[in-house]
Structure 1
Amino acid sequence: MQVVMNATLNMSNNSSCVIMTQSASHLLMSINIIAFILGILFNLVTIGPIIQQICRKNILGIYLFGLSISDLLYILTMPLWIYYFANNHKWMLSQEMCSLAGFFYYSNLYISIFLLCWISIDRCLAITFPLRVQSFRRRRYAWMICGLVYVFVMAIHCLILYLDEVSDPLDDSEKRCYETFPMTRRIALFNLIRVGIGFLLPLVVITVCYCLIPSKVQQSTGVDEHGKRKVRLLSMGVIGIFSFCFAPYHIILLLRSIAFFSVGAEKSCYFEQVMYLPFTCSLALSSLNSVVDPVLYVLASNGVREDMRLYCCKKKLRQGTGSPLVDSKWRTRVTHLT
């Protein structure tokens, strides 16, 4: 116990509360590189078919488009984080670039959570009360909901950047970007709020929705076994995203905030050091949501898969139009599908 107290006091007296490790930096850098490559690939491959879904007046396509844009905005800032981790958590760029990178990271995180939550609500209502909600499931309402989610999340983060004591997110002595150890009282309070509203509340809503959907579909005689299986897989997939990508980060964030209020800033450095590696791993997992989003919702939809095949067929047809070797039956088939 005495050793623990001495370690705590020594860390508190040092300029750095938490000592960064090269292994953690390399882990974050490697996962972000993978997420950057796969995220760009998956989102660019699926954006065309999603737009086709929107043109066909598919409500789900609008929400998928909102997810893709949010993911792409975050993915474009990933090279900044990769460079940061390559320098062992030292931000060598300007303060404005640090603010920009953090803004898009947190915005993407909660835009994804709230859009996934609303998609779950939309699908639950469409299956549970198909006739009653038909008049409310309109494209303009879907665009409005996506817009409201974007405006709400980004406005909250702009307000935080303006009001927070960490309006300068850089630690002048350590050159860390959005890594404050120990956290301040204001940051700890904000963490508790965003864990409750930004994670726990959507998780409860999604769990309720995907508990109701399978039971309702199972009772339906108009849905075949393939359709029922797809609904069950989609239900498990959404909860899987929350469990794999979002839950570890928010759970550790909650524990860190509780520890701060329990023992105070001066004595929380030891706990912060112990939790640093798990928290680093949770950050890495949270960045993978930009890769998982298109895989789950785009490839789980039969309509989008058909659009991807059709999209490739059209591309091949355009490439071979000028050649006399193009099979006329192939052209007729593609024209019929479109």
Structure 2
Amino acid sequence: MMMMNATSNTTNTSCVIMTQSAGNLLMSIYIIAFILGLMFNLVTIGPIIQQICRRNVLGIYLLSLSISDLLYILTMPLWIYYFSKNHFWDLGQGLCSLAGFFYYSNLYISIFLLCWISIDRCLAITFPLRVQAFRRQRYAWIICGLVYIFVMALHCLVLYLDKLSDPLDNQNRCYETFPMTERIAMFNLIRVGIGFLLPLVVISVCYWLIPNKVQQSRGVDEQGKRKVRLLSMGVIGIFSFCFAPYHILLMVRSIAFFSVGEKESCYFEQTMYIPFTCSLALSSLNSVVDPVLYVLASNGVREDMRLICCKNKQRQMTGSPLVDSKWKTRVTNLS
């Protein structure tokens, strides 16, 4: 699942010329993703834990997403520093490997967890009685653990097989080596298929079945139907905006390599460099969108956040003669 192009022995270091303007654009995207992602995940993690304490299965998936997002977000300052130095990495081989490991791990952990959440919702709505016994917290923890183990084990295997003890090329670039090799191009096509296209098909089928089933149900009110539509559009939106551009361009680069060959692909790589690196940066925004999407889609988490805000206002207004007794009563009822 890792990029696997960090140690090409046939690398032509002058194949792609990086510019500071491109670095500034990437740095801006990562700064926005770092600030908003850190803020949103820290704000929502408390209410999500409360949902887990109430034995809400969705809360476990949300917490797993938040942990993965936070691990990646903590490496973002390394990428911001790297782009501020015009693609010059002087922080050592270990930090380069660590930053790349958490980036690609988060990318595919998020994809597979979003895929499983979609499957869980689809089964719960389509076959509510049959799957009730399997929608337990124990199984949710096991599924999240398996996703983490599967993705991270593959990345560790890639690090070992690709001999990434020196992930920097001789221009001190971290995970930016051009052109790719035949092995890397084939591997990229495989991970596009398994890591993106397959989950996208599964999610599309799930969110095609869910609205149809809900629409036919007379026991679901309009607000519930609207929430289902919001969740459906939100997940598809994450895949379309955050994940699709990167994987589509990765597939195009890999196909182009097989078409023109390694020696002739430098011009194409130079043309594709800015769109491809921007798509890579856009994929980092999933760490911002994940908590927003599921807080809006989950009544429980949203009510917990509203309750916390009400309690904070109550503390600030305690002892003030301007406190309205009716407001106090409303806050007490929410508690």
The alignment's TM-score, normalised by the length of structure 2, stands at 0.92
Q: Report whether the alignment pairs 1:91 with 2:94.
A: no
Whole-angstrom CA distance in 2 between matches of 1:125 and 1:118: 10
Query: What are the residue-to-residue correspondences of 1:205-216 with 2, within 5 Å?
Result: 205-216=202-213
Distance 1:280 1:13, change over 3 A: closer
Identity of aligned residues (%): 83
1:299 to 296, 302, 313: 296
Query: Residue type matched to 1:235 in 2?
Result: S
1:258 to 233, 255, 259: 255
Q: Displacement, 1:186?
A: 2.5
Deviation string 1:17-63 (CA, Å, 9 cap, x unpaired) is 11112221111000000111111111111111111111111111110
Partner of 2:7: none
Query: What are the residue-to-residue correspondences of 1:107-256 with 2, within 5 Å?
Result: 107-171=105-169, 173-256=170-253
Partner of 1:9: none
Q: Decide which moves more: 269-278 or 258-267.
A: 258-267
Whole-angstrom CA distance in 1 between matches of 2:309 and 2:42: 14
Indicate the RMSD between aligned Cα atoms, in angstroms. 1.8
Partner secondary structure for residue 134 of structure 2: coil
Query: Residue type matched to 2:282 in 1?
Result: L
Partner secondary structure for residue 135 of structure 1: helix
Deviation string 1:236-288 (CA, Å, 9 cap, x unpaired) is 11111101000000011111111222222111111111111110220121111
Q: Displacement, 1:185?
A: 2.5
Q: Displacement, 1:304?
A: 1.2
Whole-angstrom CA distance in 1 between matches of 2:116 and 2:216: 24
Query: Residue type matched to 2:73 in 1?
Result: I
Q: Decide which moves more: 74-83 or 308-317.
A: 308-317
Query: Residue type matched to 2:295 in 1?
Result: V
Does structure 2 retain, via aligned residues, the 8 Å contact 1:54–1:62?
yes
Deviation string 1:63-101 (CA, Å, 9 cap, x unpaired) is 011111111110000000000000111111010000000
Partner of 1:34: 32
Partner of 1:270: 267
Does structure 2 retain, via aligned residues, the 8 Å contact 1:169–1:178?
yes
Whole-angstrom CA distance in 1 between matches of 2:45 and 2:159: 31
Distance 1:142 1:14, change over 3 A: closer
Whole-angstrom CA distance in 2 between matches of 1:28 and 1:67: 24
Distance 1:160 1:237, change over 3 A: same
Query: Residue type matched to 1:193 in 2?
Result: I
1:61 to 59, 62, 67: 59
Q: Decide which moves more: 325-334 or 157-166.
A: 325-334
Does structure 2 retain, via aligned residues, the 8 Å contact 1:16–1:174?
no
Distance 1:14 1:133, change over 3 A: closer
Partner of 2:16: 18
Distance 1:112 1:15, change over 3 A: closer
Query: Residue type matched to 2:33 in 1?
Result: A
Does structure 2 retain, via aligned residues, the 8 Å contact 1:164–1:186?
no
Does structure 2 retain, via aligned residues, the 8 Å contact 1:120–1:210?
yes
The alignment's TM-score, normalised by the length of structure 1, stands at 0.91
Query: Residue type matched to 1:247 in 2?
Result: A
Whole-angstrom CA distance in 2 between matches of 1:163 and 1:179: 18
Does structure 2 retain, via aligned residues, the 8 Å contact 1:64–1:298?
no
Partner of 1:308: 305
Distance 1:219 1:36, change over 3 A: same
Does structure 1 retain, via aligned residues, the 8 Å contact 2:231–2:297?
yes
Whole-angstrom CA distance in 2 between matches of 1:299 and 1:44: 16
Q: Displacement, 1:168?
A: 2.0
Q: Decide which moves more: 189-198 or 78-87.
A: 189-198
Does structure 1 retain, via aligned residues, the 8 Å contact 2:44–2:291?
yes
Tell me how many residue pairs correspond in the alignment.
325
Distance 1:200 1:73, change over 3 A: same
Partner of 1:286: 283
Q: Displacement, 1:327?
A: 6.6
